[in-house]
Structures are given as structure tokens and as C-alpha cells.
């Protein structure tokens, strides 16, 4: 029965994602053929994003793949780790059940209002996914504490940890203790005066402890927002209203659709074809294989958004290739770890899209602004690879025109993908969402029907994994916007601006302080949550100090790119540890030179704004 329910859940989410691909494409055809689009197509796609995101989050909870701070993984196995797991599960369940109640309140309010999203679909029906998903998440968080042996919230350990064997206490007691969180959440909802009548500091202490022991990030952000709102006597439905508003943003569907394209590439043999073509063109130079790895990883990360797919998909091919060609193991490990986030500044990177949505700037502008900085960071890592190739006397591949032409012809469909996106968007043929749907369909057709790399089972797996990753990200974004709404209402941006105006006397000093602040944010917060929470706070500061809004965005994402290599959130560190079967500290040490290189690159991007704004002026977007 459990398996049947899981298949139904996976099927609904994957079907919703498929419809998200097809509707924008039909919109392009209808607009060209009859001069108008499909009625209610856009709002339906937007609400399908809501369903894909939160059903995906429920699936991620079922599989133990909700993102969390990695600090829980440093807690020793045994009694302390089990206690940490129970506390993390209790807090996560408490936050989820409070958010579920807020979602239900919002849906019932919309039902009374009778809002129609189009095609006769009532808004409240679409919103029901929120209370359903949060309730399922709460129950699954509690259930999994009895099944997984101390994964501490890490998405890597959660995915791979074996079922727990017999213990003295037993899974039943673990679940019973974690269920206290459910009861606490219900108590707070029924007697909100408990929170209204007391100081916030004990609650904040509990939140910090819960974050350290590995509570999922959505619960930390959502729980904090609920604590702040309920302390002021405001219903948690306020958080879910903001969650709903972000989830149905007109451009947000581009994120799951571009991610789907990345997963389809990863499931096929695209990596082998691209490795062959890049090696044919660059393998002759010193460090050629290292350069190929950096360029190829950048290509994949553009479509997967730094979600870790690049390391998992390409690691099995590129890491052995580096070792075989004579590169040192420590260098190879560091290169693959850092390269997993290269490409975040290149269009159509998902963080670029989200930043544009939150900061309310044109997506096309930030795409253009990221091109030169993205190339710079990739070139700097490649240059270090050239140095390593010379030092270690790594193997090189002689350039042969026949092989270069043959490999390029074999990989022509994959090489055309970035051009397809840019032409579709900048020619006016398609919007960002339509271009993302076109890219997803293109990847599907190329991998499944032209190259025939994907079977039906592979396609189902790609859709399922995409839904899970998107769910783990969108649930964080959804609750983070609620916390942001509270901070804005509390006039935090205005207070920051007042402080900065008093204590920071120059633009250069502001940029230095901004870099240090964003580096700290990258240590503590996953990139998508950071965009939603922090961007509304720093945008007014950027305006006050005369920073171009696109330049500010590129500085922000470049700094957060370093966050993938830091040990608290540092998803690349833990994915590389799993993928290459190396201790976390060994991976951290191997990645240090790459962190230094990228850090220098961030400073260059920060203090040479022409790298960001030069092409904008050339294309008339300044």
C-alpha cells in the first residue's frame, strides 16, 4: 500500500511537471498561428509550479532529502547523534504542522472569496496542496527518525544511510519523542497566547540549537517566521500568503523547467559526448583535461543550478579521467568539488533567474551581466588546471582536426542548447518560461529520440529526481519569503540603510563590507534561501551607494557561489565526500586552493564593474 501511494504521489508531481513543459510550448504555437495565446495558460502553469514544488517537498521528506545545515553531520554517532536527530525531527514537525494550519486558513479564506485563477479553477483548490504537503512533511519527518541512523540532516547521509538495526531504545520511542513536536505545534495553534505572552529569546535559542543539530532549513526559516508573527498575534496564514505569492510568480516556472533539462542531460550520455568534444579541442594544452573538466562542469551547472547534480552526474566520468591522465588526487578532488558550482553566473542559471524575480530586474539584463564574470571564474579555475598540468606533467591529447570535427558533430545537439535559450529569449520568440519549456523539450527529444540514450524508466527517474530537488528548494524559498516579509515590515532594510549611511563613508568601503557580509551568509545559508531573505535587505543599500542593480546581483551570486565550498552548508563539500568516498575534512582541504582562486575572482568582479555592465551597454540594456 505504501509503495502504491508513493507511485501515485510521484506520478501526480511528474505529470504536473510534464504539463508545465507542454502548455508554454502550446502557447508559442497558438500565438504564432492565431495571434493569441491559450486562455488561462499562464496562471495554470504558475499554479502547477506550486504543486510541483510542494508535492516535491513532500517526496523529499519521504526520501530524507530535505536540505539542512551540515553541522549535524559533525555530531558523533551514538547517543548524541540520536538525540540530535530526535530534536531536529521534533522541531521540524512542529514548524511543519504550524505552516500546514496556516495553509489551510489561507485556502479557506480564498474559498470564501471565490477567487478564480482561470478556466473555471478556484484558487483555493490549487492552494490545498500547501496544507496537504506540510502535513505529510510533518508526519514523514517524525516517521523517518525511527528509520535512519543519525544522518544529522545532511542530504547526502539522509539519502544513503542504511536502515537502523535493533537498538536499546528502539524506533518506536524515537518517534514518540519526536511526536512531541507535533503536539507542541498543535498547542501553539490552539493557545497562541503562549507565544504572545513570553520573550522571544528562548524561542530563538531553540531555533539556533535546532539548526545546529540538522533540522531542515525550511523548518528553521518557517519556524522563525511563525515565531515572530505569532508573537505579535498574527496568524501563520500570513507566511503562507507570501509563500503562495512567490510560488505563482510569472517567471518562477523557469526554474523547474531548466532543472528538468539538466536532469535529462545527466541521465543520458551527454557528459561523454561533451567530454570528447572539449578534450578534442582543449586536450592538447598543458592541463587540458583539467580545463575540460572546468568547462564541462560549467556547462552542466548552468542548467542544474548548483544543486549537486553536476558532481553526481559527471564525477564518475571526470574524476577517474583526471587521475588516469596523471593529475594529483588532491588537486583532482578539489577541482571537481569547486567545479560543481562553476557556471552559476552564466545564462540561464537558476540563481540568476531567482535573483531577477526577487530584485525585480529584467531577467535578460542579469543574463547579459553574468556572461563575462562567469567566463572569468571558469577561466581562473582553468588556469590553475594548466599550472597543475605543467607541475604534475599530466598527459595531453594531440590536436587532430578530424577528431575535433567528428566529436563536435556527435555533440552538436548538446552544444546548441545554450544558443537555443539565448536566441529564444532575446529574439522575442519566447518568454523566459517558454524558453525554459522549449529547452526541456529539446533535451528530452535529443536524449530520448535522437541519441536514444533514455528509456522510459530513465525518463521517469529524471522527472522524479527533478521534482524532488525542486521541492527541496522551493519549500525553502516559499517560507523564506514569509520571513523576509516580516523583516521588511519591521523596517529592517531602513535601519540597515541608516546604519550604513552613518558608518560607511565610501562606495569602496561599502563593497568590501558587502563582500564580507555575503561571505558570512554563504557560510550559513543555502543560495536560494539567501536570495529570498537577503536580497530585499541589500537592494536599498545598493541604490543608496550607487551600485548598478545588475552589478549588485552578480556580486551577490558570485559570493554565494563560494558558499557551496564552505563546511556549514557547503553542499558541494558533502556531495563530493559521498561521490568520491573521501572524508569531509579531506575534501575541505583539497578545495581550499579553489576557494582562494574564486575569492580573488569575486574581488575582481566586485571592483571592476565593467565586467558586469560592459556588455549591458553594448546591447543597449544599460
d(CA 321, CA 278): 13
> In this structure, what DSSP letter does residue 430 have?
S
Q: Which residues contact 538 (CB under 8 A, 6 or more apart)?
A: 496, 514, 552, 556
8 A C-beta contact, residue 65 and residue 158: yes
At 169, give phi and psi (nearest 5°).
-85, -45
Q: Across-strand partners of 163?
A: 148
Nearest to 23 by CA among 46, 52, 50, 54: 46
Q: What is the DSSP letter of 211?
A: H
Whether residue 145 contacts residue 174, with contact meaning beta carbons closer than 8 Å, is answered with yes
- ∠ CA 594-599-605, nearest 5°, is 125
Q: Quick check: 527 and 564 in contact, CB under 8 A?
A: yes
Using a 10 angstrom Cβ sphere, with 0-12 exposed, 13-18 middle and 19 or more buried, the burial of residue 205 is: exposed
Is-contact 296 274, C-beta < 8 A?
Answer: yes
DSSP per position, 565-608:
TSSSS-HHHHHHHHHTT--HHHHHHHHHHHHHHHHHHHHHHHH-
pLDDT at 562: 83
pLDDT at 569: 57
Is 229 in contact with 88 (CB distance < 8 Å)? no
The single-letter DSSP state of residue 447 is I
Rounded to 5 degrees, φ, ψ at 75 are -75, 130
Contact 525, 470 (CB under 8 A): no
- Measured in degrees and rounded to the nearest 5, phi and psi for residue 117 equal -90, -10
Asked if 157 contacts 151 with a C-beta cutoff of 8 angstroms, the reply is: yes
Measured N-to-C along each axis, helices 549-563 and 507-524 cross at an angle, to the nearest 10 degrees, of 40
Reported as type and span, the H/E element at residue 546 is: none
Q: DSSP class of residue 71? A: G
| pLDDT on residue 165 | 45
pLDDT of residue 57: 94
300-351, pLDDT tens digit by residue? Answer: 888 776 556 778 777 878 888 888 888 999 999 999 988 888 888 998 888 8
Output the pLDDT for position 374: 93
Cα–Cα separations (whole angstroms), residue 479 to 237, 530, 563, 609: 11, 12, 21, 33
- Please name the residue that has the C-alpha cell 516579509: 485
What's the Cα-to-Cα distance from 334 to each of 45, 500, 595, rounded to whole Å? 40, 37, 9
- Separation of alpha carbons 407 and 277, rounded Å: 5
* Cβ atoms < 10 Å from Cβ of 393: 10
Best CA proximity match to 344, nearest among 400, 306, 383, 291: 306
**Burial (0-12, 13-18, 19+ Cβ within 10 Å), 27:** buried
Closest by Cα among 591, 459, 569 to 11: 459
User: Is the bond into 382 cis (omega within 30 degrees of 0)?
Assistant: no
Instruction: Please count the other Cβ atoms lying within 10 Å of the Cβ belonging to residue 450.
Output: 10
Q: Which three cell numbers stand for residue 422?
A: 539565448
Handedness of CA 515, 520, 525, 529 (dihedral sign): negative
pLDDT lower than 50: segments of the chain = 149-168
DSSP annotation string for 218-286: HHHHHHHHHHHHHHTT--THHHHHHHHHHHT-TTTTHHHHHHHHHHHHHHTTHHHHHHHHHHHHHTTST
Asked if 59 and 9 count as a contact pair (C-beta separation under 8 A), the reply is yes
Instruction: Give Dmax (Cα) for the chain.
Output: 77
Q: What is the pLDDT of residue 156?
A: 43
Question: Quick one: angle between helices 507-524 and 527-544, nearest 10?
Answer: 170
Is residue 471 packed enough to be buried (19+ CB in 10 Å), middle (13-18) or exposed (0-12)? Answer: buried
What pLDDT is recorded for position 604? 95
Cell of 256: 523547474
* DSSP, residue by residue, 468-514: HHHHHHHHHHHHHHHHHHHHHHTTHHHHHHHHHHHH--SHHHHHHHH
Within a 13 Å sphere around the CA of 617, how many CA atoms are in the beta-carbon half?
8
Amino acid at each position: 500500500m505504501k509503495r502504491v501511494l508513493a507511485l501515485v504521489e510521484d506520478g501526480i508531481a511528474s505529470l504536473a511537471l510534464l504539463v508545465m513543459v507542454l502548455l508554454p510550448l502550446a502557447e508559442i504555437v497558438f500565438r504564432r498561428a492565431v495571434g493569441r495565446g491559450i486562455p488561462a495558460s499562464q496562471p495554470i502553469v504558475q499554479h502547477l509550479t506550486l504543486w510541483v514544488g510542494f508535492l516535491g517537498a513532500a517526496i523529499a521528506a519521504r526520501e530524507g532529502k530535505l536540505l539542512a545545515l551540515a553541522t549535524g553531520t559533525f555530531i558523533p554517532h551514538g547517543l548524541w547523534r540520536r538525540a540530535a536527530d530526535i530534536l531536529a525531527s521534533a522541531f521540524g514537525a512542529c514548524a511543519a504542522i504550524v505552516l500546514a494550519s496556516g495553509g489551510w486558513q489561507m485556502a479557506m479564506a480564498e474559498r470564501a472569496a471565490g477567487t478564480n485563477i482561470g478556466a473555471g479553477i478556484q484558487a483555493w483548490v490549487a492552494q490545498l496542496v500547501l496544507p496537504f504537503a506540510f502535513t505529510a512533511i510533518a508526519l514523514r519527518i517524525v516517521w523517518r527518525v525511527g528509520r535512519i541512523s543519525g544522518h544529522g540532516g545532511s542530504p547526502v547521509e539522509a539519502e544513503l544511510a542504511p536502515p537502523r538495526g535493533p537498538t536499546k531504545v528502539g524506533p518506536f520511542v524515537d518517534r514518540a519523542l519526536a511526536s512531541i513536536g507535533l503536539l507542541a505545534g498543535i498547542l501553539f495553534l490552539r493557545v497562541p497566547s503562549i507565544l504572545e505572552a513570553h520573550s522571544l529569546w528562548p524561542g530563538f535559542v531553540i531555533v539556533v540549537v535546532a539548526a545546529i543539530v540538522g533540522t531542515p532549513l525550511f523548518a528553521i526559516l518557517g519556524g522563525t517566521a511563525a515565531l515572530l508573527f505569532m508573537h505579535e498575534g498574527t496568524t501563520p496564514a500570513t507566511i503562507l500568503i507570501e509563500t503562495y505569492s512567490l510560488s505563482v510568480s510569472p517567471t518562477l516556472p523557469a526554474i523547474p523547467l531548466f532543472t528538468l533539462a539538466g536532469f535529462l542531460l545527466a541521465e543520458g550520455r551527454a557528459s561523454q559526448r561533451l567530454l570528447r568534444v572539449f578534450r578534442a579541442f582543449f586536450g592538447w594544452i598543458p592541463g587540458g583535461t583539467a580545463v575540460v573538466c572546468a568547462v564541462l562542469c560549467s556547462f552542466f551547472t548552468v542548467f542544474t543550478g548548483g544543486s549537486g547534480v553536476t558532481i553526481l552526474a559527471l564525477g564518475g566520468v571526470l574524476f577517474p579521467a583526471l587521475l588516469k591522465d596523471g593529475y594529483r588526487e588532491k588537486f583532482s578532488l578539489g577541482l571537481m568539488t569547486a567545479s560543481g558550482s562553476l557556471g552559476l553566473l552564466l545564462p540561464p542559471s537558476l540563481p540568476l533567474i531567482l535573483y531577477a524575480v526577487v530584485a525585480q530586474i529584467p531577467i535578460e539584463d542579469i543574463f547579459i551581466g553574468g556572461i563575462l564574470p562567469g567566463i572569468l571564474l571558469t577561466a581562473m579555475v582553468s588556469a590553475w588546471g594548466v599550472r597543475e598540468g605543467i607541475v604534475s606533467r599530466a598527459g595531453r591529447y594531440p590536436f587532430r582536426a578530424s577528431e575535433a570535427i567528428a566529436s563536435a558533430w556527435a555533440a552538436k545537439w548538446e552544444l546548441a542548447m545554450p544558443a537555443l535559450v539565448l536566441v529564444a529569449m532575446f529574439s522575442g520568440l519566447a518568454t523566459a518560461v517558454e524558453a525554459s519549456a522549449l529547452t526541456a523539450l529539446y533535451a528530452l527529444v535529443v536524449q530520448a529520440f535522437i541519441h536514444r540514450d533514455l528509456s522510459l524508466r530513465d525518463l521517469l527517474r529524471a522527472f522524479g529526481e527533478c521534482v524532488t530537488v525542486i521541492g527541496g528548494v522551493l519549500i525553502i524559498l516559499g517560507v523564506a519569503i514569509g520571513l523576509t516579509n516580516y523583516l521588511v515590515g519591521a523596517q529592517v532594510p531602513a535601519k540597515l540603510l541608516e546604519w550604513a549611511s552613518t558608518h560607511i563613508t565610501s562606495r569602496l568601503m561599502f563593497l568590501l563590507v558587502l563582500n564580507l557580509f555575503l561571505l558570512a551568509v554563504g557560510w550559513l545559508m543555502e543560495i536560494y534561501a539567501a536570495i529570498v531573505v537577503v536580497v530585499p535587505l541589500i537592494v536599498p543599500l545598493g541604490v543608496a551607494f550607487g551600485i548598478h542593480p545588475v552589478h549588485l546581483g552578480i556580486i551577490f551570486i558570485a559570493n554565494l557561489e563560494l558558499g557551496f565550498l564552505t563546511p556549514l552548508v557547503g553542499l558541494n563539500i558533502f556531495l563530493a565526500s559521498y561521490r568520491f568516498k573521501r572524508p569531509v575534512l579531506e575534501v575541505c582541504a583539497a578545495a581550499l586552493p579553489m576557494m582562494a582562486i574564486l575569492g580573488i575572482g569575486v574581488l575582481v568582479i566586485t571592483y571592476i564593474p565593467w565586467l558586469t555592465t560592459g556588455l549591458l551597454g553594448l546591447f543597449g540594456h544599460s
